[in-house]
Amino acid sequence: MAKHTKDVQNRYDGFLKTPRLWKKDVVFNMYQFEIDSKSDKIDLDIDDKLRLGKYIERLVSFELSRNTAVKILAENLQIQNGKTTLGEIDCLLLKDKKPIHLEVIYKFYVYDASVGTSEIDHFIGPNRKDALVEKLKKLSEKQLPLLYSKHCESYLETFSLKASEITQQVYFKAQLFIPFGERIILKTLNQDCIVGFYIKKESLIEFSNCKFYIPKKIDWIIAPHTQVDWLTYSAFIELSNPILERQFSPLFWLKLPNGELKKCFLVWW
C-alpha cells in the first residue's frame, strides 16, 4: 500500500473509532446521527492540505457512500441570498428513504473546571480560542435553523423536499483531554471520548525518560502507533518551545519506558 493511501486509511480508521460526543439527544435536544460502519478499504484521493474539518467531511462522505441504506442528495450546499452566502448545509441525505439534514462536526477539547459552571462549559479548545458551548449554540441557533429559512426553499425544491419533512441530526464526534493526574467522570457527555490528558510545560519533567512525537494536525485523528520518528525529551522541548510562544498547544504522542502510548496536549497557558 502506497504511503499516501496508508495515511488516508489510518485517518479513516481513526475517524471511525472516534465516539460520538453524546448519545441520542441529551445535549441541546440535538439528535446524534447513527450509522453502522466498518473499516472498509478506502479508495479516496484526498488533499493533505485540506483543513481538518473539510478533510473529515470527505471521510464522512466516503463512509456514507458505503452504506446501502443511505443515499446522498447534496453536500456542502451553499445557501445564498443574492450574492450573499447565508451559510452551508453540510449534507442532505436519505436514510432508509427518509430525508435528513446532517451537520458534521469533529473537535478536540480540553477540560478546564475554571471555565463556566457546567460540564459542557468546562470543555474548551486547546488554544482557549473556542469552546464546546459556543459550537453547540452556533449549531442550534444558526446552522440548523438555516434549513427553515425562505432562502433554502428553492434548493429543497430541486429534490422535491420541504423543510417540514426533513429530520435534523448532527454527527458530532470529539476527542476529549483531561488535566494530567486527574480523573473526571462525565455525566452528560460520552466518557469514551476521553482519549488522553493535557499538561503544562513545567510538569513535563516527569516524563524526561520518555519519547515524544508531534503529529501534523491532519494526523490528530489517528491513534498513536510506534512507526514514527520518536524524539528525546530535550529535542521535544526544543521543538515545542516556538509553538508555545505563538500561543498554540501542540498535540503529541508519548511513549513510556514500558512501551505504553499516550495521546496528549502540551498547553501554552
Question: How would residue 40 be classed by pLDDT, with cut points 50, 70 and 90?
Answer: confident
Q: Please check the confidence at residue 1 and state whether its pLDDT lies above 80.
A: no
Question: Looking at residues 196-214, what average pLDDT do you find?
Answer: 97
pLDDT for res 31 = 98
Question: Looking at residues 123-136, what average pLDDT do you find?
Answer: 97
Question: Looking at residues 89-114, what average pLDDT do you find?
Answer: 98
Q: Please check the confidence at residue 205 and state whether its pLDDT lies above 60.
A: yes
What's the count of helices (H) and strands (E) in the chain, helices before strands?
5, 9
Q: What is the pLDDT of residues 218-235, one digit of tens each?
A: 999 999 999 999 999 999
If you ran DSSP here, which 8-state letter would residue 126 be given?
T
User: How far is it, in rounded angstroms, from Cα 127 to Cα 136?
Assistant: 18
Nearest in space to 213 (alpha carbons), one of 139, 263, 141: 263
Beta strands in the chain (DSSP E): 70-81, 84-95, 98-111, 123-124, 167-179, 194-200, 211-213, 251-255, 261-267
Beta strands in 158-246 (DSSP E): 167-179, 194-200, 211-213
Q: What is the pLDDT of residues 232-263, one digit of tens each?
A: 999 999 999 999 999 999 999 999 999 999 99
Pairing of strands 167-179, 211-213: unpaired
pLDDT for res 105 = 98
Q: Please check the confidence at residue 92 and state whether its pLDDT lies above 70.
A: yes
Question: How many C-beta neighbours within 10 Å does residue 33 have?
Answer: 20
Per the document, the length of the chain is 269
pTM of structure: 0.96
Amino acid of residue 151: H
Task: Assess contact for 122 and 112: CB atoms under 8 A.
Answer: yes
Question: How would residue 5 be classed by pLDDT, with cut points 50, 70 and 90?
Answer: confident
Q: What is the pLDDT of residues 166-195, one digit of tens each?
A: 999 999 999 999 999 999 999 999 999 999
